[in-house]
Each structure stands twice: as C-alpha cells, then as structure tokens.
Amino acid sequence: MIWSLAARPVLFDGTPLVVLPEPRPTPPSDPVLPLSSDYAMDNAAPNPSAAAAAAGNGVQASGTAGGERPEDASKQNLAQVTSSIQKTLGLLHQLNLTVSSFNSASQLPLLQRLNALVAELDTMQKLAEGCNIQVPMEVVNLIDDGKNPDEFTRDVLNSCIAKNQITKGKTDAFKSLRKHLLEELEQAFPEDVEQYREIRATSAAEAKRLAQSQSSLPNGDVKVKAEH
C-alpha cells in the first residue's frame, strides 16, 4: 500500500505550503544515508575469479550471473525490502522531529523529507513485488497492539502440543477398547478369535514383505521399520 500526499500540507495558522518540484539540495541537520548503498557497491564489484574462468572458456562475463538460484534471488529481494523498511523508519523519525520543532526555516527540509518518504514508500512497494512471503494476520495484529510477534509462534506451538495430546489420548483409548473387546470375544468365541488372529498375522506378514520389496537399498540390504 502506498500513501499518497493528495492534500496540500498547511501550517498551523492555515497558510498553505508550496511543494517545490525540485528544491535546492540543502543538507538537513540529521541526514539519513541509504542503508542499501554498501550492498549495491558490493554487488557492483566484479568477481575476478568468475571473469577469469569465463574468459578461459571464451565467454565474456556479464554483470549478473545467469545461473542464480531462486532461493538466492528471494533472499536478495528480502534484504532489499528490509533495508527499505529501515530507511523508511528513519525518514519517519526525522519527519517527526521536523514537525515537532517546526519553524519558518524548517519548511524546505520538511518538503524534502516528505518527498523522500513518498519516494521511499514507492520503492518499497516495487521491491515487495519480488517477495512472496505470507505473514499471518495474527502477527500483524500483535505488532499493532505493541506486543512481541514471537507470542504467535508460542501460541501455535502450545496449540499443536495440546491437540497432539488429545489425539494421543483418543488413540490410546481405542487401543484399550480393542484389547478389552478381544479379551471378551476370546472368552465367548475362542475359535473365531483364533481365526481372526491368523488372518491378522497373514496380513501383517504380507504387508511386511511388500514394505521390504519397496525399501530395498542399492547394496541389497533391506531397511525394515521395527514393529512395536
């Protein structure tokens, strides 16, 4: 989302501020340096070893590697977005300081910082288009409430543990019921229960044989899961 400055800013007495299209570059009292400048300079520097290898194969080395992996590109985009967010926070802090102590001499720095903020927000949106990261709304709500977003991870883990305990309890209850039914049926119908046990043993042996054929290792060994 990009915030646009559609309304013309005014002073406290109602006098409108005139936004200059290209103001003179007056250095502010607390300038903000782009956080991604070092990163851009590092990427702009050529790799001597890569250039030498390419020249030995008769291929001219280009500025960007053609075989860049998708995960590397995703990390690079995420780093650029993070740098843009940090720069935006710095601009907002400077803008807050300028507005809180506004006077007639602060008009030009105020306009410059407003224009820089709008330009940085536009840059952030363009960089964010290359990042496919989904953030749960619960995390955003925790941040808006001034809470630690790690609380969401803690709540999710606690919920998974609770559901796991409930599922384990249901499984143990069904195992206990099956054991109790077999004991009662064995007393009432011993022959039928014996046939049932033989059928179960035959089915288990067939399933084990099938698992061994599907999990054979290249050296001829067989990896079989131990039965409990």
pLDDT tens digit sequence for 140-171: 898 889 889 898 999 999 999 999 999 999 99
- pTM attached to this predicted model: 0.39
Given the structure tokens 């309890």, which residue do they identify?
A: 169
Given the structure tokens 């006077």, which residue do they identify?
A: 103
Percent of the chain with pLDDT over 70: 63
pLDDT at 219: 58
Mean pLDDT on 49-69: 46
Q: What are the respective helix, strand and coil percentages of the chain, to the nearest 5?
A: 65, 0, 35
For residue 87, which phi and psi values (nearest 5 degrees)?
A: -65, -40
pLDDT tens digit sequence for 175-210: 999 999 999 999 999 899 899 999 999 999 999 888
- Give the 3-state DSSP-derived string for 179-228, with helices as H, strands as E and coil as C: HHHHHHHHHHCHHHHHHHHHHHHHHHHHHHHHHHHHCECCCCCECCCCCC
* Pair 109, 116: CB distance under 8 Å: no
pLDDT at 213: 82
pLDDT tens digit sequence for 67-117: 557 677 778 888 888 899 999 999 999 999 888 888 888 888 889 999 999
Cα 97 to chain centroid distance, Å, stands at 32
